[in-house]
Structures are given as C-alpha cells and as structure tokens.
Amino acid sequence: MNKILKKITSSTLLGTMLIYTTSPIFAFTKDETVYSKMDTSGNSYNTIVNSHIINSEQAEFINDLSDLLNIMNTNGDETFTQNENTLIWSANGNDIYYNGETQKKLPIECKIKYELNGNEVSANEIAGKSGKVKIILEYTNNDIHTVTINGKQETLYTPFVVVCGTIINNEKNKNITITNGKLIDDGSKTIALGIATPGLQESLNLSKSTIDIPSSIELTMEATDFELGSMITYITPKILEDEDLSIFNKVDDIFSQINTLQSSSHQLVEGANTLKEGASTYSEKSAEFNSAVKQISDGISYVNSNYTKINNGISTLQQSAPTLSSGSKTISDGIEKISDALNTINSSLSAVPESEVIDGITQISNGLTPIIAGINSVATTDNSAKIAELQALIDQNTICISNLKNANTSLESQIASLPADQAQALQVQVDTNKNLIALLEGNNTTHETTKQTLQATDATQLAQLNSGLQSIQTGLTQLLPGIKGIYSIKPVINQLAGNSTLLAKGSKELSGGANQVIDGVNALAYGSSQMKDGLNTLDSGARQLSIASNQLTDGANTLSVGTTTLAEGMTKFNDEGIDKICNYINGNLKDVKVRIEKLQDLSNEYNTFSMLNDNDKGTVKFILITDSLNKNSLSKENNDNKDNE
C-alpha cells in the first residue's frame, strides 16, 4: 500500500507544481495530501493523510499539530513525542514525512450514479452488462461560510477545483464522451479527464443562463461486458492566485466613469422633458393667438368689404346732393356698424396681451439655453481614456490567453512521450489552462461590449441635436420682431376706431342738417377715401398676418411633436441602453468582483485538513480513489461488507 501511495504522491506533487507556485516560506510549511478510498457509489471508507513538514531552517526540533491517528514516519528514522494533538519531532535538521488515519468528513462529497440505456441502475446491476452506459459523478461542496458582501450576509463555499480521471479500455468501449473535460485516445485505451467546481455557481450568485459552472461530470460510452477501472479525483482549493485579481484594479476607474455617463444621461432626459413641456405650452398659446389673429383678419376683411359700399355711397352722395338727405341715414347706420366692428377688432387684439406672447416665446428660448449647454457638455465628453483603458485590459487578457495557449501546446507535445501517470498530471494543467482561457475570453467579450457602448455615445449625433435646438432658438428670436410688428397695428386700429366714432357722429349731424350737407359731403368724401386706403392696407396686412400665424402654429405643433419624440427617445435610450449598461457594471460586475475577492480569501485560508500551528504555512490537496467496477470486484466487495457486518 505504501508503494502505491508513494507513486501517487510523486505524480500529484508534479501536478501541484504545475498548477500553482509555492508561497515564500517564513516558518515551517506543512504540505498535506489526503488520500481517500471510495466504493463504487462514492462513499469514502478509508482516509489517510500524508504530511510533509519542510524544515527550511534545518531546526533540531519541530513543533507540530495533528489530529491524525496511528501516526508513523514514512521516510526516515526521526522520532516524535505526542501530547494529545501536539507533536514534537526530533528532526535533526531534516524534513519530516509522516502519515496517519482520520475519520473526518471530506470537504467535497462525491455521489456516483449509473445509467444503462437511459435507466438508473446500481453498480452491481451494470457490471458485465452491454449497452449505452452513463456514469454521473455529482460533487457537493460541504465547506460553507457566511460572509458579508455589500452589507448583506451571503453564503459562499471554499472554491475547490475537482479534476477526475480514469482509463477506459477501447476494446470493450466506443463512442466515449465526457462533459466539461478532455479525452485522450492512443488507440488501445482512452484517458478521460473532467473538471468541476462545486459551489462556485452559488458563490458567484450567477444564473445558469449567464454562465453554467459545472458541479458534476458525466461520462458516456457504448460498452460491451461493462467494467471500469479506478477513477482518481484530484481536489485543490487553489482556483485563483492573488496576481490573477490584478485585472480588477483598473475596473474601479471604469465604475466612476460609468457613474458620470449615467448622471449625464439623466440630465439629458430631464432637459428633453423640460423642452417637451415648454414646447407643448408654446403650441397651446400659439393656437390661442392664431385664433385671435383669425378673428382680427376676418373682422378687417368684413370692414373693408362693407366700407367699399359706404365709400361708393359717399361718392354717389357727393354727386347727388339732392338725394343726400335720404342717403345720409344709410351712411349713418353703416358707419355705426363700422365703428362697432373696429371696436370689436380692437377688443379681440387686446384679449391676447403682447407681453404675454413675447414673454412666452422668450421663456421657451431661454429654456433651450441649459439644454444646449447640457448637450454640449455630453457631446464634448472625451471617452477616449475610458476606451483606451478597456482596450488595455483586452490586450492584457489577449497576451495572457496567448501565453496559456503556448504553454498548452508545449505541454501537449510532452504528454504523448510521458508515462500515463505523468501524462495525466500534465493533462490536468492543460485543462486548467483552457478553463482560464475561457474565463479571460469571457472578460474580453464584456470589455468589448462596454467599449462599443462608450464609442456609441457619439458626439456627432449630439452635435446634430444641438444644432437643431440652436436653430429653433434662433427662429424663436427672429419671430419676436414679427410679433411686435403685429401688435404695432393696434394703434392704427385704435385710431380707426376713434375716427369711425367721429365719422358716425358727423353722419348723424349730416342726417339732421341737410342744409349743411354739401360742405360736409365734400369733407366726408375726402376722409372716406383716406379711410378706404387705410382699410385696404390693413386688410392686406391682416391676411399676411393670418398666413404667418398659421405657419407659426404649424411650426409650434411640429416643435411640440418633435420635442415629445425627442423626450421619448431620450427616455428609451436612457432606460434601455445607458441605465442597463451602467446598472450591470455597477451591480453584477461589482458584485462578482467582491465575491471573487472573498473566494480568494477562503482559498488562502484553507491550508490544512488535519491541524496547523498559527505561525506555520500549509498547503493541502485531496486524492479520491474509487474501487474498480467489475463482476469479480463487486463480489469481493459484497463479501467484505458481509464480513464487516
């Protein structure tokens, strides 16, 4: 038994040297290898621990702690004294090698299930059978810890890496497959190696839809007279080294930049909503103003149309003085109507104060100023530094990936020329490197997505939006003189209203004093001619004002629709784009970063299976060896179980 254990120990030490580098030694270092025999169902029934105390200081005596039973020196004649769990070795400057037995429960539990042609069967039932065989090794991590992450109590598992391997006879088995593993076929036999990390999915709090981290290994084959040699499982708590976490140092800089991006995006959304509300108010006021202008235009047109008849009547009256007495009554009535109409026009124009319209337009124009400034702020934000940082991370990962691939190429070239036990250890390192490559490539995908998002925050698009808003602001500023020009008509209308009142008074006097008609008619004809010219000018101006007002109202409606679309688009862009990206980086990525750091702490803390002095350092690994499965071995196993009973 000792010879077998020594062979396994030498190959395991080789694998360990390939997986991680020994830490600097400050005191004694105890390297433990835990060997456990398991039956064909995965139940452990015999566990032995090999301990190697590295006496780098060549001390005469070594103080050690151990809870092992039946301790014996396996490589020398050094002796020890024991007081409960305290051992004092007479080392004489030598390293100490010893082993002992333990009944302690292993941190990783293995359950082995078998299926034959899709039906679950026991090891006894499948031995010697033919058909499609599936072997399922389910690993459970029993080393559970409660840690604080972001102020909350979370459950984490010590991050053990499990590598299981076995050798399959090709004469009795074909179409061999293995999940999350590697097959090496030399023609006569196939070496199957699989990897699992039980508890890591739960520790990282990642859904399987994001990434499926295996906690089991499945081995399938088409078998004839099925039998299976021993399966050897290698377990180590060293999933990451401290230097592997340096990649997260620069990620902290990205977190702060992402917060700035998210804050700026929220400001843009608020500004767009403010612009939307202002444009909506302006559109409503513009519609009210347009309605008033239409009333004014219709009134002036009505006055001008009717005054033509009056003017013609005055001309006829001037030519037909004898009939002036009867005609003066008609003129008086008509002028009263004109006076009423002009007063109505004056009242309609007064219903919409000039200051209210001008203040409204000025308020909207002023409201655009902070929006334009905010867009300028975002448009001039330089994302090149952030993009460069992400590219640096990608380049660093790419170099690591290339180095790992080159290392695998070198290792794989050595495997074919080495004995099976050494080749198996090298293959474990190859598979571990491939898993690290997959992790780094996944990180590169995330960094590339973030980089493209930062590049998508295109200053050109924001500049186009800024140019459009500045054009709107300029148009509103240019609109003010036109509005003021509209209201400049009001004094003319006031004057016309006053003149019409005087004209009405004169027409009444004319009607009552026919003897003074001739002189009055001549004066009336002159004044009527001037009034007709004024009304023609006013009518033409009012029509142009009405057309301009319609265009202004259409523009206001378009502005309102456009700002509504802008506000909705900015909200959607923020909610579905910026916020999701920022929340993922600030949430999921930060959480995973903290969890990985906590897992690294747990990995560093797991340094012994038996016991260790506080000042000493330790490393530990586990090797689980299952019994071979065939008809003869099962019969012997059953007989042994009966004897034990």
Q: Is residue 473 part of a domain?
A: no
The residues, any chain, with a CB within 8 Å of residue 369's CB and separated by 6 or more, are 473
The structure tokens listed for 292 are 């008033």
Q: Quote the DSSP letter at residue 338.
A: H
Residues 337 and 348 in one domain: yes
Instruction: Say which DSSP state 628 is in.
Output: P
Q: Are residues 327 and 361 in the same domain?
A: yes
pLDDT digits over 532-575, tens only? 787 788 778 777 777 867 776 776 677 677 678 767 766 765 66
Could you tell me where the DSSP H helices lie in 94-210? 123-126, 200-204
Does 148 map to a domain?
yes
Q: Is the pLDDT of residue 254 over 70?
A: no
What angle is formed at CA 109 by the lines to CA 105 and CA 115, rounded to 5 degrees? 145
> What is the per-residue pLDDT for 327?
61
Where residue 136 sits, what CATH number does that domain have? 2.60.40.2960
Residue 261 CA to residue 553 CA, distance in Å, equals: 37
∠610-613-619 over CA atoms, to 5°?
55
Residue 243 resides in a domain: no
Question: Per-residue pLDDT averaged across 440-464, rounded?
Answer: 75
pLDDT on residue 349: 59
Q: Is residue 403 part of a domain?
A: yes
Residue 75: DSSP 8-state: S
Higher-scoring residue by pLDDT: 496, 228: 228
pTM above 0.75, yes or no: no
Boundary residue ending a domain (236, 270, 289): 236
Please indicate, yes or no, whether residues 365 and 441 belong to a single structural domain of this protein: no
Q: Closest Cα partner for 49 from 12, 80, 79, 17?
A: 12
Residues 87 and 19 in one domain: yes
Q: Are residues 156 and 300 in the same domain?
A: no
**360 and 294 in one domain?**
yes
- Residues composing the chain: 645
Structural domain boundaries enclosing 82? 2-23+30-107+612-644
CA 380 to chain centre: 24
User: pLDDT tens for residues 311-336?
Assistant: 777 777 667 656 656 666 676 677 67
Do 374 and 493 lie in one domain? The reply is: yes
Kindly state whether residue 548 falls inside one of the protein's structural domains: yes
The predicted pLDDT at position 1 comes to 33
Amino acid letter, 333: D
Question: Domain boundary residue among 582, 600, 625?
Answer: 582
Pairing of the two strands 80-83 and 86-90 = antiparallel
Q: Are residues 511 and 372 in the same domain?
A: yes
User: What's the CA gap between 465 and 195, in Å, rounded?
Assistant: 54
Residue 461 is assigned to a structural domain of this protein: no
* Virtual torsion, Cα 474, 479, 481, 484, nearest 10 deg: -150
Is 142 part of any domain? yes
185 & 167 share domain = yes
325 and 295 part of one domain: yes
| Number of separate domains in the chain | 4
Asked whether residue 607 is assigned to any structural domain, the reply reads no
Cβ-contact 111, 133 below 8 angstroms:
no
Asked if residues 433 and 408 have their Cβ atoms less than 8 Å apart, the reply is yes
Strand residue runs (E) in 568-607? none
Q: Which of 415, 432, 456 is the last residue of a domain?
A: 456
| Least-confidence region, from 96-110, 248-262, 515-529, 629-643 | 248-262
- With both helix axes pointing from N to C terminus, report the angle between 2-19 and 420-456 in degrees, rounded to the nearest 10: 20
Tokens of 544: 């142009």
**Residue 185 sits in the same domain as residue 324:** no
Q: Do 498 and 377 belong to one domain?
A: yes
Q: pLDDT higher for 55 or 456?
A: 55
Tokens standing for residue 342? 């002009």
Residue 116 has pLDDT above 90, yes or no: yes
